[in-house]
């Protein structure tokens, strides 16, 4: 799929399971999102998962999702639960939120 100026913007909500806290997952996710020009946020959850909300062009979100499925060095991603919907106006620029 090409990254044309006419690519539809979408929303991706993802919860990443595995050994994903304490390994730089939020920081590298933040860097990836900023590099791709995505809006949204990332945060740790008290259950040990990492939650991500991102909006942008669908091709860029697919590249971002590929990153979430592998994570940074030191992480072990057991799975990603993803939910796609229409863009709704996520925070710009992408940010790291407090644990919830």
Per-residue pLDDT tens over the stretch 11-44: 999 999 999 999 999 999 999 999 999 999 999 9
Rg (CA), the chain: 13
pLDDT score at 91: 81
Give the tens place of pLDDT for each residue, 44-58.
999 999 999 999 999
Whole-structure pTM value? 0.90
Q: Compute how many other C-beta atoms are within 10 angstroms of the C-beta atom of residue 78.
A: 10
Residue 49 pLDDT: 97
Is the CB of residue 45 less than 8 Å from the CB of residue 17?
no
**What SS3 state is found at 33?**
helix
3-state secondary structure of 34: helix
Q: Which residues are identified as catalytic?
A: 26, 44
């Amino acid at each position: 799929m090409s990254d044309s100026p006419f690519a539809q913007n979408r929303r991706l909500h993802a919860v990443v399971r595995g050994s994903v806290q304490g390994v730089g997952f939020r920081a590298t996710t933040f860097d990836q999102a900023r590099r791709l020009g995505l809006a949204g946020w990332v945060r740790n959850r008290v259950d040990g998962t990492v939650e991500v909300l991102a909006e942008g062009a669908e091709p860029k979100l697919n590249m971002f999702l590929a990153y979430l499925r592998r994570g940074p060095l030191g992480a072990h991603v057991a799975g990603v639960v993803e939910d796609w919907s229409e863009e709704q106006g996520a925070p710009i620029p992408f940010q790291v939120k407090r644990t919830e």
